[in-house]
Amino acid sequence: MTSFTKVPTLVEAPVVITVQDAGIRFRRNRLLRRNFKDLFAPRSRRVKADEFWALHDVSFTVRSGEAIGVVGRNGQGKSTLLKLVAEVILPDAGSVRVHGGVAPLIEITGGFVDDLTVRDNVFLAAGLHGMTKPEIQARFDEIIEFAEIGEFLDTPYKHLSSGMRVRVAFAVISRLEEPILLVDEVLAVGDKAFREKCYRRIEELLAGGRTLFFVSHNEKDLRRFCTRGLYLNDGSLVLDAPIDEVLERYNSDNAV
Q: By C-alpha distance, which of 251, 245, 204, 246 is closest to 225? A: 204
Strand 93-98 vs strand 102-105: parallel, antiparallel, or unpaired? Answer: unpaired
Largest CA distance in the chain: 62
Q: What are the beta bridge partners of residue 26?
A: 52
User: Coil, helix or strand for 218?
Assistant: coil
User: Coil, helix or strand for 139?
Assistant: helix
Residues of the chain with confidence (pLDDT) below 50: 1-9, 31-34, 36, 39, 44-47
Domains of the chain, earliest start first: 15-253 (3.40.50.300)
**pLDDT tens digits, one per residue of 93-126:** 999 999 988 988 876 656 789 999 999 999 999 9
Torsion angle of the four alpha carbons 85, 29, 57, 90, in this order, in degrees rounded to the nearest 10: 30
Rounded to whole angstroms, the Cα distance separating 201 from 170 reads 10
Cβ neighbours of residue 31 under 8 Å, at least 6 residues apart? none
Side-by-side strand order, sheet with 228-233: 102-105, 180-184, 211-215, 67-71, 228-233, 236-242
User: Coil, helix or strand for 239?
Assistant: strand
How many other CB atoms sit within 10 Å of the CB of residue 28? Answer: 9
Cβ neighbours of residue 152 under 8 Å, at least 6 residues apart? 118, 160, 164
**pLDDT tens digits, one per residue of 69-102:** 999 999 899 989 999 998 888 999 999 999 988 9
C-beta separation of 160 from 82 below 8 A: no
C-beta separation of 146 from 174 below 8 A: yes
Q: What are phi and psi of 232, to 5 degrees?
A: -105, 135
The pLDDT of residue 190 is 65
pTM above 0.85, yes or no: no
Q: By C-alpha distance, which of 104, 122, 111, 110 is closest to 179? A: 104
The pLDDT of residue 48 is 57
Rounded to whole angstroms, the Cα distance separating 82 from 186 reads 13
